[in-house]
Structure 1
Amino acid sequence: MPKALIVYGGWEGHAPAQFNTWFRQRLERNGFEVQSLDRIEDITPESVQVDLIVPHWTMGKLTPQASQLIREAVLNGTGLAGIHGGMGDAFREDTEFQFMTGGQFVCHPGNIRPYSVQIKDHDHPISQGLQDFQVQTEQYYMHVDPANHVLATTTFDDQHAPWIAGTVMPIAWTRQHGKGRVFYHSLGHALSDMQVPEVEALTLRGFLWAARKE
């Protein structure tokens, strides 16, 4: 049976407990044994011996030991997958964590707003068969690693920060970190965002791909 670890907490505006339940239910439906931790101090060498780690901890701080345990697990083949601020704005001071995830949130001009998502890789198992779609959520402007394999993008307009109009921003990507697979997308400010079929599909497929269970 594949195993997953969800580490959730941090800023309550991203509903960590509710997302933990959402992630847990879907992973269990796909045959995973899931452990959820809401304390950084509870991350141990044993707890990271899993197929998949899902961080959903906006801001906050990792202890040096917990950071090393997670990073070494991924380097050795554990998958890492997450969404929105739970992984893209987690542990801001931990640049090694950001190097692993492939990006860091810096702004969301206009806050919650309607925008479109463009699928860029129609052949990848995560995005295969999906078409461009609309969302109404935070449009993340991120500092992004050019080594990422981009699955989907969004384009900023001139309504809230005119100087970035036309900027094409990666919104979903995969990457390799050592032997581990990493998946991220920046959607999902609120749990209701997961009701968009394409958002749910990207999330679950990304988690399974990172765990090598696609």
Structure 2
Amino acid sequence: MTEKKTALVVRGGWDGHQPVEATELFIPFLESNGYDVRVEESTKIYADARYMAGVDLIMQCMTMTTIEKDEFEGLRGAVENGTGLAGWHGGIADSYRNTSDYLHLIGGQFACHPGKDPDECTGGQADNYIPYTVTMLPAAAEHPITQGIGDFDLVTEQYWVLTDDYIDVLATTTQKVRAWDPWHREVTSPAIWTRQWGQGSIFVATPGHNIEVLQDSTVRTIIERGLLWASR
């Protein structure tokens, strides 16, 4: 009999990213792939070294907020020892802004999501929903996360992220220059990337602002594959 794997779901932070509803979309998928799933509503569990040593996959959806030093060190130590870390959007690429070592671990940090013409804005989240394309790179063609998936279009927040060279980029998105923008040339950011850290694997997808985006068949497929790929 095959021993079950362990998945830890850590969720919370800014409610606008629907951390409960978003993670609930993927828990049945993990269970159907043989994982025992534990859900935590805070980062305190990361400081439990004995438990973390047995975790095969962390699915994190924790936007902004803060993390204690012992919690972060527990998270990083688990990844270095082989625990996979995966997530989407602000739940992984905009977590714990004040902890620079976390930004180093992930390899990319949300900077902004340039929105609509200011004259069209009404003050809601939709002010930041714009049409854009996720462009697959040649490396994506044979990668298990993106194999068989071509470029695709979304209407949602387009993440402009700050990154380093130690990420393996599978897809990008290019921020255009509009009449009202202060920048003067197009800016291309990673939209899907992986990172090897010690013995562990990290997966990040920047699309995933809300349930509607996560239910897009292409986005959902990429995230599901990314969860399995990252796992120990």
TM over 0.5: yes
1:47 aligns to what SS in structure 2?
helix
Match of 1:167 in 2: 187
Query: Counterparts in 2 of 1:7-26, with a 5 A limit?
Result: 7-26=10-29
C-alpha root-mean-square deviation of aligned residues, in Å?
1.3
Once the two structures are superposed, residues 68-102 of structure 1 have per-residue CA deviations (whole angstroms, 9 ceiling, x without a partner) of 11100000111111100000000001111111111
Unmatched segments (≥5 aa) in structure 2: 116-127
2-structure distance, mates of 1:175, 1:135 = 24
User: In structure 2, how many angstroms separate the alpha carbons of the residues matched to 1:204 and 1:164?
Assistant: 37
Change beyond 3 A, Cα 1:192–1:47 = farther
* Structure 1, 151-160 or 168-177: larger mean CA deviation: 151-160
**Larger of the two Rg values belongs to structure:** 2
Is residue 75–residue 177 contact of structure 1 (8 Å, CA) maintained in 2? yes
Q: CA deviation at 1:138?
A: 0.5
Give the Cα separation in 2 of the matches to 1:167 and 1:35.
39
1:149 to partner: Cα distance = 0.5
| Residue identity matched to 2:6 | K
Give every structure 1 segment of 4 or more consecutive aligned residues whose post-TM-superposition deviation is greater than 4 Å. none
Aligned partners of 2:59, 2:18: CA distance in 1, in Å?
15
Percent identity, aligned pairs only, is 41
The residue identity in structure 2 corresponding to 1:80 is: L
How many residue pairs get aligned? The number is 212
**Alignment match, 1:149:** 168
- Cα deviation, residue 165, structure 1: 3.7
Tell me, yes or no, if structure 1 residue 178 matches structure 2 residue 184.
Answer: no
TM-score norm. by structure 2 comes to 0.88
Q: Which amino acid aligns with 1:163?
A: W
Counterpart of 1:113 in structure 2 is 130
Distance 1:165 1:197, change over 3 A: farther
Distance 1:199 1:164 in 2: 30
Superposition TM-score, scaled by structure 1 size: 0.95
2:110 aligned counterpart, secondary structure? strand
Deviation string 1:48-69 (CA, Å, 9 cap, x unpaired) is 2211111111001111111111
Cα drift, residue 40 of structure 1 = 2.4
Q: Which amino acid aligns with 2:130?
A: R
> Gaps spanning 5+ residues in structure 1: where?
none
Which residue is equivalent to 2:222?
A: 202
